Structures are given as structure tokens and as C-alpha cells.
Amino acid sequence: MDHNILIRGRIQDSINLKETILKDTMLIQHIQEAAGMIVRAYQSGNKTLFCGNGGSAADAQHLAAELSGKFYLDRPPIHAEACHVNSSFITAVSNDYGFNQTYSRYIQAVGKRGDVLVAISTSGNSENVFQAICRAREMGFLCIVLSGASGGMMADKADVLLNVPSDDTPRVQEMHILIGHIICELVENELFG
């Protein structure tokens, strides 16, 4: 295998997907809606919680840090957190109740009506993330789902579905962080710009 061809091919795949998204006026509109939802939550004294598994957990933590710390602007911190960062909580709940309940119990512990949950899953079918959305909806959260093309079983539970038009997991994850960064910039500009 020619590594040069593979490298260029993967870069081109990413470019092609970005061009597809750039032409997707509905997805662009949904990104704006998601940012607006988060802005209104902060204006009402609420917070944003993020959850995902594996690479999506890393994205959840990354995006929570962009909001809670800073993105571009030197400004006050705002409350955003990833549901998996307390390892003692995650392992205790996994042991006592099963892994599928970890995020939903965390949301129950720290969440309140009007908060926003950003659920990240390339398939849209991660059971623990799905359970988190169900609990969040019961509690009066607004839910944003970042997924791949179909949105999976989470699609019908989302207030805003940001479904990247691909089933290629690495490319979808690349677009999730791009979309997440755009949302962070929009939120920061609206609140502090």
C-alpha cells in the first residue's frame, strides 16, 4: 500500500465531507439553533452537560472545557461539564447499576430543568447516551444530538439533531469537533462578544 495515496485520500475524504456540510443549509441552520439554545440556557442561569463514549467522550470533555474555560475571548467561565470525568462516580454506578445508567444518574444528580444536554454518538445508538437523553428529557432539559447520518435511536429524542451526512466514524468524529468548535464560538460571541 502506498502511504502517500492513503494519506491524501483521507484528507480528501475530510474535505469532501466538509464541502457537503457547507452546502447543507438545514444542518447549518441546526448548528445555529443549537448555539442559540445553549445561549438562552446560560442567560437563564442554566448549564450545559456533555456525554459520549470513547472518542465522543474525549470530544465531550474537550467542548465542555472550551465553554467552561474560554474559547477565543478572555471572559468569565461558564458552567459546562462532561458527565464522565468523575471516575469514582462512573465506576461505582457501573458496578452498582450497570454502565447503561452512568450518565442518566449523573444527570439526575447535577441537572435541573432548563439545562442543555449535548449527546455525542457517531451511531446515535449508544445505550448509555440514549438513557441519558431520556432522563434529561424527563427532567426538562433541552437535548442536542451530534451523530452520524441517521441519528440512530437518538434522532427522535433530540430537540436539535446535528447529524453529519456520513457513516465513516473517523470522518464523523472530525466533523463533530468542527461543529462543536463553531457552536462554542457562537455561544461565546453571543454571551461575551
Please tell me the distance from the alpha carbon of residue 185 to that of residue 39, in angstroms, as a whole number. Answer: 11
Which grid cell sits at 62? 474537550
In CATH, the number for domain 25-192 is 3.40.50.10490
pLDDT at 1: 74
Query: How does strand 80-82 pair with strand 160-163?
Result: unpaired
Domain positions in the chain are 25-192
The overall pTM is greater than 0.75: yes
pLDDT digits (tens, 9 = 90+) for 2-16: 899 999 999 999 999
- CA pair distance 162, 56, nearest whole angstrom: 14
* 32 class by beta-carbon count within 10 Å (0-12 exposed, 13-18 middle, 19+ buried): middle
Res. 93: pLDDT tops 90: yes
Tens-digit pLDDT profile for residues 66-85? 999 999 999 999 999 999 99
The long-range contacts involving 87-96, CB below 8 angstroms and separated by at least 24 positions, are none
Residue 119: closest CA among 40, 18, 27, 34: 34
pLDDT tens digits, 108-154: 999 999 999 999 999 999 999 999 999 999 999 999 999 999 999 99
